[in-house]
A = this chain, B = another copy of it.
Amino acid sequence: WQVVEDDGELHLQRIYRFRNFTNALSFTLFVGAIAEEAGHHPVLLTEWGKVTVTWWTHAIGGLHQNDFIMAAKTDFIALN
Interface 9-residue window, one of A8-16, A38-46, A60-68, A69-77: A38-46
CB within 8 Å of B: which of A2-38?
A: 21-22, 25, 28-29, 32, 35-36
Give the number of copies in the complex. Answer: 2
Task: State in angstroms the CA–CA spacing of A25 and B51 once bound together.
Answer: 14
B residues in contact with A1, CB < 8 Å: none
Which A residues have a C-beta under 8 Å from some C-beta of B?
21-22, 25, 28-29, 32, 35-36, 41, 43-48
Task: State in angstroms the CA–CA spacing of A45 and B46 once bound together.
Answer: 6
Known: A25-B29, A35-B21. A41 touches B45 (CB 8 A): no
> Would B43 and A45 count as touching, CB distance under 8 A?
yes
